[in-house]
A and B are shown apart, each in its own frame.
Chain A
Amino acid sequence: MSGLDAILQGGLQGYLVVALLLFAIGLATVLLRRTLLMQFMGVELMLNAANVALLAFARFRGGDAQAMVFYLFIIAVAACEAAIGLALVIGLYRHRDTTDSDRAASLKQ
């Protein structure tokens, strides 16, 4: 089947496209939003994109359990990043009373 309908009918390409677009959206969030929490969510999206791609590949490799395990680890990592990231955001908020990353720019040049 040709490119486009391969995507539309949920072939591997479709999942990959979704994954990559999700990745792009996550990146866009980091680049465009100033609120730290939003940027943080963007990162989470990027990780998720990776998950989608990973499991799509796993499926088309006959349900590879290795990938599934890796998926578990990625979730763990995501959780850890969440913990640390949110802790940092809180710490910053305590000092600066803001969650706007542009305002937290005292270190420069």
Chain B
Amino acid sequence: MNLSPSQWSALLPLLLPSVGACLIAIMSMDKDQVTEKWIRGVMYATALLAVGASFYYLTVLWNSGGQPSFFQLRMDRLAQFTGIFVLVASALTILQGWDHFHQEGWVKGETLCLLLFAVTGMMLFASTTHFVVLFLGLELFSLPLYALVGTVRLRPESSEGGMKYFLTGAVASSCFLMGGVLIYGLSGTLDLGTAAMLLRAQGLALDPLVLVGAALLLVGFLFKVSAVPFHQWTPDAYEASPHPIAGFMSVATKGVALIALLRIFGNSLTPLAGVGARMQSVVAVLAVATLVLGNLTALVQSNVKRMLAYSSISHAGYLLLGFVAGTPAAYTGVLYYLVIYLAMNMGAFGLLTAFGLVGDQITFDDLRGLGWKRPAMGIAAAIFMLSLAGIPPMGGFYGKYMIFRELVATGHVGMAILGVLASLVSAYYYLRFLVALYLQAPSAEAERLASDRPAVHAPFAGGTVLVCAAIVLAGGFLQTFLADGFARRALVDVAGLIR
């Protein structure tokens, strides 16, 4: 079987990261990479190069407007959107990683190569409707992430977090698998799109086993989205993992899972009318639960990373509300929100690196007065937090705006009200971040510690933070470009993706 050049160029974006991963794996076989700085440099450069190249090919593909589909792959605009999304996230992660792992004193090539494998897996996961590839993609990005969470073995928490993530994740993917198998069994094909057609043709749309299958598939997705009650791994895993990885997980995993959910349930399975309706009613309930629980729990966190983790859970709630509305505009809103969310969260986690906060427990007290010490970072932090809280003119507001508007338009006024109340609560703990940064003077002994600790030097992390801040602001002022030019085209240009 041979591919046409165009197909190759479409395949390259997936190929390059994995190639880069293999290269890095080879490099990191060197024993004393800890001492040899240039090797580390080369590894990170390679990783960036791979990501960059893949990004380049994706943008070329996007601009060419081609949407090839070969093997079980569908490199349509949605897939390209996902690719760009994931690649940007990973690039930011790599840059922040350089600083963070140096602060941790744990610079390993494996980390990068696992990250790149995860990237490949995510792109696969979001660009196919064929269950085999879907499942393999899922595993290809889950397994490296399990490993990444536990990668910094110095800290006892790390392996515990990884273990929890792994066990829950394995259960979830088993359910996912079982669901897929059931649907295959009753339809006879492994491609979910075709399966849905066939099932409807055979009048098995409401066969109990089909419904069970769909439900189990949904479990797999919701676990990755970390929606209540499949969310409990999130805070532990985030706290255990290095900041950049936590940021990457919070952004990429969620995003990819949502896009896949959109592709599968919003598109492929639509022939099974009953499934779609049930999915929406379930998601409605879970979204509400997610909003309430995520926000309330985030309110009482004293550990910054856990707070961010719960906030990411609550954001999953907002994003799922978009699925409740289920209109094209709402899906556009979801994608738009994802873009801003990428910037906000990568930025927020990047801040921790930029502030040079390493160690197990990072509490709000560690942030005291940093806003004045590092003005640029402080302003960026203000932008992120206000945007997360959904205060205009930050980008986060527009995402919420679109989703809530569609909710109201589709008659879910009650949910919209609950949503705004939730974001009211969230405003409180985001403000707490700013209170710590600006409104509280550091305690005396904290000052003393800071004085004898060497000055924080995190140029890359700082850079990424500023970039993210710029993106968030851009989301606030160029909202049309992002929403219509990027998010909307990713949906609408795809043939019949939105029915």
**A91 contacts which chain B residues (CB < 8 A)?**
150, 153, 158-159, 162-163
Whether A2 is near chain B, meaning CB under 8 Å from some CB there, is no
Residue of A with least CB distance to B174: A46
A107 touches B163 (CB 8 A): no
A85-B166, A107-B164, A107-B235 known; A64 vs B178 contact (CB < 8 Å): no
Report chain B residues within 8 Å CB of A105.
Answer: 160
For the side of the interface on B, what is the size category?
35 or more
Return the contact of A77 from the options B136, B161, B164, B188 (Cβ within 8 A).
B136
| Chain A 13-48 near chain B by CB (<8 Å), digits 1 or 0 | 000100000010011001000001001100100110
Q: Known A-B contacts: A80-B143, A96-B160. Give 6 more (CB < 8 A).
A: A61-B188, A70-B131, A74-B177, A81-B139, A88-B150, A91-B150
Chain B neighbourhood of A7, CB < 8 A: none
Chain A residues positioned under 8 Å from B236 (CB to CB): 107-108
Query: Is B174 a contact partner of A66 (Cβ separation < 8 A)?
Result: no
Does A75 make an interface contact (CB < 8 A)? no
Number of contact residues on A: which range applies? 35 or more
The A70-85 residues at the B interface (CB cut-off 8 A) are: 70, 73-74, 77, 80-81, 84-85
Contacting residue for B132 out of A30, A73, A88, A96, CB 8 A = A73
Contact, CB under 8 Å: A84 / B147: yes
- List 5 A-B residue pairs with CB atoms under 8 Å apart, sorted by A's residue number: A26-B174, A47-B174, A61-B185, A104-B164, A109-B301
CA distance A40 to B170 in the complex (A): 9
Interface residue? B157 (CB, 8 A): yes
| Residue ranges of B at the interface with A (Cβ–Cβ < 8 Å) | 131-132, 135-136, 139, 143, 146-147, 150, 153, 156-164, 166-167, 170-171, 174-175, 177-178, 181-182, 184-185, 188-190, 235-236, 239-240, 301, 306
A108 to chain B, nearest CB (A): 8
Q: Which residues of A contact B150 (CB under 8 A)?
A: 88, 91
A87 to B239, CA, bound (A): 20
Which of A27, A57, A88, A107 sits near B185, CB closer than 8 Å? A57
B146 cross-chain contacts in A, Cβ below 8 A = 84-85, 88
The answer to whether B143 touches A64 (Cβ under 8 A) is no
CB-defined contacts of A66 to chain B, threshold 8 Å: 189-190
Contact A104 B135 (CB under 8 A): no
- State how many angstroms separate the Cβ of B178 from the closest Cβ of chain A: 5
Give A107 to B165 CA distance when docked, in angstroms.
12
